[in-house]
């Protein structure tokens, strides 16, 4: 198994407090504010605006939800191969969809703290823990069950009445 130098493996600092993550969170919140403010003009339902991210983007998407800014709150969060580290989740967290491969060398060695914390906060959680796919499985077909992540995400959105 190849090991990667990964700044996300820090133990003294939350991944959500890293400067790059904070910058990404601020950018994502600005985008959400724009969409919420202009929803009528854009002909979109502001109650169905969510956020989906992959890898570092998944961490940024989760950071947006954890910050819980009222004017930049997504209706749902999609985290594809994001961090599973335990966090403080705001009460009544929005629904969370998470997909990750068990053989992801970057994100899978920290237990299921995020999922447990999210659930315990009252947020709905959906976790897809695939047996294979590695980091980046959404970018290419691999003939593994992780190839189904997008169909499962769409079905989840439909079941949550977002789609």
Domain ranges of the chain: 13-159
Give the β-pairing of 77-80 and 96-101: parallel
CA–CA dist 139, 119 (Å, integer): 28
Burial grade of 160 (CB within 10 A; 0-12, 13-18, 19 or more)? middle
pLDDT for 107 equals 82
5-30 pLDDT, tens digit per residue, is 444 444 446 899 999 999 999 999 99
pLDDT for 163 equals 86
pTM: 0.89
For residue 57, pLDDT beyond 70: yes
For residue 4, pLDDT beyond 60: no
Percent share of the chain, pLDDT over 70 = 91
CATH number for the domain formed by residue range(s) 13-159: 3.40.50.1820
59-112 pLDDT, tens digit per residue, is 999 999 999 999 999 999 999 999 999 999 999 899 999 999 999 998 867 789
**Residues 98/104/106/107 CA torsion (nearest 10 deg):** 30
């Amino acid at each position: 198994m190849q090991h990667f130098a990964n700044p996300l493996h820090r133990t003294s600092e939350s991944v959500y407090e890293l400067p790059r993550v904070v910058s990404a969170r601020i950018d994502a919140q600005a985008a959400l504010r724009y969409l919420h403010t202009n929803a009528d003009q854009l002909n979109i339902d502001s109650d169905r605006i969510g956020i989906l991210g992959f890898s570092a983007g998944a961490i940024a998407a989760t950071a947006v939800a954890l910050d819980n800014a009222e004017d930049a709150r997504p209706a749902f969060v999609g985290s594809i191969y994001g961090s599973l580290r335990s966090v403080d989740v705001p009460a009544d967290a929005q629904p969370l969809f998470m997909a990750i491969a068990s053989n992801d060398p970057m994100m899978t060695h920290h237990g299921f703290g995020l999922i447990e914390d999210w659930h315990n906060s009252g947020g709905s959680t959906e976790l897809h823990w695939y047996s294979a796919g590695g980091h980046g499985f959404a970018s290419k077909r691999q003939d593994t069950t992780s190839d189904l992540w997008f169909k499962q995400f769409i079905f989840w959105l439909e079941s949550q009445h977002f789609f």
